[in-house]
């Protein structure tokens, strides 16, 4: 695993736990974790259960005993690491968004396609697909439980930047993060909407905005070690993004979607919500209540209509059989174990995992189209 921050902890949890609950066809060995600072990576290795620590990812991916590379670094290094690892014959799991630019994502998708011909697999870490309630929602829609999809409303709202005195981080630097709320959390909303409905966005019209344009610099952002400063740095990414989209049509009608990604939604901590309205019903999901789905059946008697709660904890629900008895809730971390399960099984079976790098490239093109549209006063912009 390359990277030792917040996502490093989450991915480590997934690699460590998945083999103990799922009967995997191959057994992952947590061989080495890589980060730039020796002290940091040594601590991470000991805390998260990695056998070794290293500071040079190039040396690690050249090793014969490494079969898979998990990339959890900031977006500016995804392309270089992923392409090198795939060329070296390593399977690759890469956190979302796939890259910082469409050109980088295209290079990664091309490398993944070439590697697939040699039996090497690549997957993007859109982990929320693997929340059991989300997978169940997709299955219900595919089975026709809400009829034809007509409208989608997706939002990812957080408030961790609402304090204008909050310090600069790498996530607020476009050269490292690629984009702000749009790419960081909006990418999840895009992938979730497309995954659950089984269709793709074809054009968008949006607006992005940076609300706080300068923030205090701390040691990390000044190349120092934790020292405070009176200096400020320029925020070069968006804080808020909103856009409307059209999905590929089914029978001539193109479903419409509305999307929001913001780090300024005061009081919202991790509110990823999705509601899909169909011709005969509707389904709604809220990540802050991730064991539940809301389902509306318009074909019920008018005396009984209304959204009802489905508690997604039964053994028959997706991913849940190896876990706890019904009613015993899962949490945020379980999606990473499900991600490991699916990726390892795809590698063992020699099948293309999903979301693939090609799917990650598509999301990157949607993000770029939203930015282009915002620059053109929210004009409709094709995803290409």
CATH number at residue 168: 3.30.360.10
- Residue 39 and residue 53 in one domain: yes
The pLDDT, as a whole number, for residue 222 is 44
In a domain, 241, yes or no: yes
Angle at 244 between CA 296 and CA 269, to 5 degrees: 70
Single out the residue in 79, 103, 125 at which a domain terminates: 125
- Residue 12 and residue 76 in one domain: yes
In a domain, 352, yes or no: no
- DSSP SS3 for 104: helix
In a domain, 116, yes or no: yes
In a domain, 362, yes or no: no
The pLDDT, as a whole number, for residue 93 is 98
The pLDDT, as a whole number, for residue 218 is 82
- Residue 189 and residue 217 in one domain: yes
Q: What are the distances in angstroms from CA 338 to CA 90, 178, 215, 276?
A: 21, 27, 37, 24
The pLDDT, as a whole number, for residue 230 is 79
List the chain pLDDT tens, one digit each, 384 residues: 999 999 999 999 999 999 999 999 999 999 999 999 999 999 999 999 999 999 999 999 999 999 999 999 999 999 999 999 999 999 999 999 999 999 999 999 999 999 999 999 999 999 999 999 999 999 999 999 999 999 999 999 999 999 999 999 999 999 998 899 999 999 999 999 999 999 999 999 999 999 999 999 986 554 434 455 579 999 999 999 999 999 998 777 999 999 999 999 999 999 999 999 999 999 999 999 999 999 999 999 999 999 999 999 999 999 999 999 999 999 999 999 999 999 999 999 999 999 999 999 999 999 999 999 999 887 888 998
Domain total in the chain: 2
155 sits in the region (left: phi over 0; alpha: psi -120 to 50; else beta) called: beta
Contact (CB, 8 A) for 161 and 264: yes
Global pTM reads 0.94
Contact (CB, 8 A) for 272 and 189: yes
- Residue 133 and residue 111 in one domain: no
The pLDDT, as a whole number, for residue 220 is 53
- Residue 141 and residue 288 in one domain: yes
The pLDDT, as a whole number, for residue 249 is 82
Residue-range definition of the domain harbouring residue 292: 129-330
In a domain, 212, yes or no: yes
Q: What are the distances in angstroms from CA 139 to CA 94, 132, 144, 146, 316?
A: 25, 11, 9, 11, 12
Phi, psi of 49 (to 5 degrees): 95, 25
Single out the residue in 106, 125, 144 at which a domain terminates: 125
- Residue 237 and residue 262 in one domain: yes
Burial of 32 (0-12, 13-18, 19+ CB in 10 A): buried
Contact (CB, 8 A) for 114 and 86: yes
């Amino acid at each position: 695993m390359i990277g030792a921050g917040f996502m490093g902890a989450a991915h480590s949890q997934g690699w460590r736990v998945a083999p103990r609950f799922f009967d995997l066809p191959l057994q992952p060995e947590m061989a080495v974790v890589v980060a730039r600072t020796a002290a940091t990576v040594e601590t991470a290795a000991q805390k998260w259960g990695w056998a070794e620590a290293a500071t040079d990812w190039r040396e690690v991916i050249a090793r014969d005993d490494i079969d898979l590379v998990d990339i959890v670094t900031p977006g500016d290094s995804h392309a270089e690491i992923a392409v090198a690892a795939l060329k070296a014959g390593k399977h690759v799991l890469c956190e979302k968004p796939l890259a910082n630019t469409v050109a980088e994502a295209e290079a990664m998708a091309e490398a993944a396609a070439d590697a697939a011909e040699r039996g090497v697999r690549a997957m993007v870490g859109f982990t929320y697909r693997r929340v059991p309630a989300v997978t169940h929602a997709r299955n219900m829609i595919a089975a026709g439980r809400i009829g034809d999809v007509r409208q989608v409303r997706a939002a990812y709202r957080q408030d961790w930047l609402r304090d204008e005195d909050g310090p600069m981080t790498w996530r607020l630097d476009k050269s490292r993060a690629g984009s702000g709320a749009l790419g960081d959390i909006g990418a999840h909303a895009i992938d979730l909407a497309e995954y659950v409905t089984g269709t793709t966005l074809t054009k968008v019209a949006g607006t992005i905005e940076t609300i706080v344009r300068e923030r205090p610099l701390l040691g990390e952002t000044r190349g120092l070690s934790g020292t405070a400063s009176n200096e400020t740095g320029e925020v070069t990414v968006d804080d808020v993004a909103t856009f409307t989209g059209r999905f590929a049509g089914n029978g001539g009608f193109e479903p419409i979607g509305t999307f929001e990604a913001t780090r300024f939604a005061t009081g919202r901590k991790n509110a990823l919500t999705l509601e899909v309205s169909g011709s005969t019903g509707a389904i709604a999901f809220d990540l802050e209540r991730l064991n539940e789905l809301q389902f509306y059946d318009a074909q019920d008697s008018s005396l009984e209509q209304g959204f009802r709660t489905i508690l997604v904890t039964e053994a028959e629900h997706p991913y849940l059989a190896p876990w706890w008895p019904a009613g015993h809730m899962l949490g945020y971390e379980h999606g990473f174990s499900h991600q490991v399960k699916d990726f390892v099984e795809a590698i063992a079976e020699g099948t293309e995992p999903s979301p693939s790098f090609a799917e990650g490239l598509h999301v990157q093109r949607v993000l770029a189209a939203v930015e282009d549209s915002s620059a053109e006063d929210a004009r409709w912009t094709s995803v290409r």
